[in-house]
């Protein structure tokens, strides 16, 4: 009598919380398929009308060669996940396979009976890093692979979840501040008396006016007498050349070795410096990122949890710029990216800085970049467009006050003037809003400062 051969297990079963781990699984599963593995995840493999509990149980009991368990305290508290861990623990014994459950550490988590002694694969330090470690783990365990192909259903799922576009015009607000007015002259200033490059740089660094080193001197909007105090040690600066800014931006100056691209870079640098020097002078807290400086609202500007009203009369809203999430203090800020195309403007990029709560609620900035990144990904991922927009508008309200303009000093009596209201435009199409919020919903909705609430069951 022939004994039926047990079917070969060939599937990586991903145990997850819905919808909390969906974004991660949509990222991970296609990459595992590209590496040759067959993957099961409820987000894709359950169809309408399926007896979902039966299907999940059957795949885990009969087809799974490993269970990849997403691990965080909130995921491990889900009844469905706990039930899958129980089934997988039984299979570990039945199959004599101690590596059947592979924990994927999404966040630091409390040990749980049944998986407490298992070595996890770390995705908390970065998803790409975790994927590499997981692939090496699976390769060492010599798990079977199928032909390398990614199921088209993953892309189809993303398309189904995508925002639909309607052929209707929609008014939108950008994150651009238009430059309304700026000086029409650029000066090349050089020292009146000879000095070393080091001395010149040292004297120019603390200047409250923007300067860009060029050859033996500086390019600047400021006139020579505007800088007499800063450069008194070397007898001040004198004019070497005067340029019409717009002509220089368009054509450069062959006589001085300046191409139009060089000039745009220098003018952009001067605008960036003007913004940063003004923000420092106004007392915003500065933080340096790899792509430049950002300026944040700290305790000197605003109390934790206090709203800043903004908007047109009769249409006012309010947003928070400092609050607490995951027992850390977050503080909103912006970086400014100047550009001259298609017209002079500053593009503002929202930034969020997380800090620990020290003694007597003192703010202690978290210096570890990875921790900052993880907190931004987990806390800020649920700030919908309206929430980010509201924070930007509140920041500008705090910056400009009652004035419709923001002035950035660049010389004595000279300033780059910005419109304090971002540029508005009309899109020829409109996007369906997935989450329609009330006027202040980004603040009253706790998902703004914590996370989405999740269903108890799938």
**Cα–Cα distance, 440 to 458 (Å, whole number):** 30
122-136 pLDDT per residue, tens: 998 889 999 999 999
Give domain 11-161's CATH superfamily.
Answer: Toll/interleukin-1 receptor homology (TIR) domain (3.40.50.10140)
Task: Identify the pLDDT of residue 359.
Answer: 67
User: What is the pLDDT at residue 296?
Assistant: 97
The separation between CA 346 and the C-alpha centre of its own chain, rounded to angstroms, equals 19
Contacts of 45 (CB under 8 A, 6+ apart): 55, 59
Secondary structure of 168-226 in HEC code, one letter for each residue: CCEEEECCEEEEEECCCEEEEEEECCCCCHHHHHHHHCCCCCCCEEECCEEEECCCHHH
What does 324-353 look like in DSSP terms, one character per residue? EETTEEEEEEEEEEEE-SSSSEEEEEEEEE
At 114 the pLDDT is: 76
d(CA 71, CA 109): 7
Q: What is the pTM of this model?
A: 0.66
In eight-state DSSP terms, residue 361 is: G
Predicted confidence at residue 240, as pLDDT, reads 94
Q: Which of 53, 63, 55, 52 shows the shortest CA–CA distance to 13?
A: 63
What does the pLDDT read at residue 337? 95
Per-residue model confidence as pLDDT tens digits over 288-336 = 877 789 999 999 999 999 999 998 766 788 999 999 988 899 999 999 9
Given this model, what pLDDT does residue 86 score?
A: 93
The residues spanned by each domain of the chain are 11-161, 170-179+274-448, 183-269
pLDDT of residue 156: 63
Alpha carbon distances (Å) from 386 to 89, 319, 449? 45, 10, 14
Cross-strand partners of 243 = 186
Is residue 176 within 8 A of residue 346, CB to CB? The reply is yes
Residue ranges for the chain with pLDDT beneath 50:
1-4, 46, 48-50, 435-458
Write down the pLDDT at residue 7.
Answer: 64
pLDDT for position 45: 54
Please say whether the structural domain 183-269 has been given the CATH code 3.30.70. Answer: yes
Alpha helices in 380-453 (DSSP H): 385-400, 441-444
Return the ∠ at Cα 418 (arms to 416 and 422), rounded to 5°. Answer: 160
């Amino acid at each position: 009598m022939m004994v039926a051969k047990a079917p070969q297990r060939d599937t990586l079963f991903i145990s997850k919380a819905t919808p909390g781990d969906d974004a991660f699984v949509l990222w991970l599963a296609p990459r595992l398929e590209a590496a040759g593995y067959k993957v099961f995840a409820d987000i894709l493999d359950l169809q309408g009308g399926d007896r979902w509990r039966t299907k999940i149980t059957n795949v885990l009991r009969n087809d799974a060669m490993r269970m990849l368990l997403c691990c965080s305290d909130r995921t491990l508290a889900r009844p469905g996940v706990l039930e899958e861990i129980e089934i997988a623990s039984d299979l570990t014994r039945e199959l004599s396979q101690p590596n059947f459950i592979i924990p994927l550490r999404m966040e630091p988590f409390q040990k749980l009976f049944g998986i407490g002694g298992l070595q996890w694969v770390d995705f908390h330090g970065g998803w790409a890093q975790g994927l590499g470690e997981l692939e090496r783990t699976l390769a060492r365990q010599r798990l079977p692979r199928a032909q390398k192909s990614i199921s088209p259903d993953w892309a189809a799922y993303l398309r189904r979840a995508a925002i639909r576009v309607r052929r209707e015009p929609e008014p939108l607000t950008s994150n651009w501040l238009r430059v309304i007015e700026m000086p029409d002259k650029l000066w090349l200033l050089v020292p009146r008396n000879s000095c070393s490059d080091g001395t010149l740089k040292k004297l120019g660094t603390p200047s409250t006016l923007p300067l860009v080193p060029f050859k033996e001197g500086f390019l600047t909007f400021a006139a020579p007498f505007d800088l007499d105090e800063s450069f008194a040690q070397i007898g001040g600066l004198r004019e070497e050349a005067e340029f019409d800014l717009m002509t220089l931006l368009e054509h450069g100056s062959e006589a001085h070795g300046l191409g139009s691209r060089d000039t745009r870079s220098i003018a952009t640098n001067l605008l960036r410096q003007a913004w940063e020097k003004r923000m420092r002078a106004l007392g915003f807290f500065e933080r340096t990122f790899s792509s430049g400086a950002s300026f944040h609202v700290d305790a000197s500007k605003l109390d934790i949890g206090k709203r800043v009203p903004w908007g047109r009369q009769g249409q006012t809203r309010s947003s928070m710029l400092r609050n607490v999430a995951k027992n850390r203090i977050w503080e909103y800020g912006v970086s400014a990216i100047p550009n001259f195309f298609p017209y002079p403007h500053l593009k503002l990029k929202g930034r969020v800085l997380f800090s620990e709560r020290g003694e007597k609620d003192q703010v202690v900035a978290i210096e570890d970049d990875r921790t900052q990144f993880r907190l931004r990904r987990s806390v800020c991922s649920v700030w919908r467009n309206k929430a980010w927009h509201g924070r930007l508008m509140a920041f500008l309200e705090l910056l400009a006050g009652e004035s419709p303009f923001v002035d950035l000093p660049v010389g004595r009596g000279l300033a780059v003037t910005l419109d304090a209201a971002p540029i508005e435009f009309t899109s020829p199409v409109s996007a369906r809003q997935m989450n329609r919020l009330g006027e202040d919903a980004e603040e009253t909705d706790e998902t703004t400062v914590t996370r989405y609430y999740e269903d108890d069951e799938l």
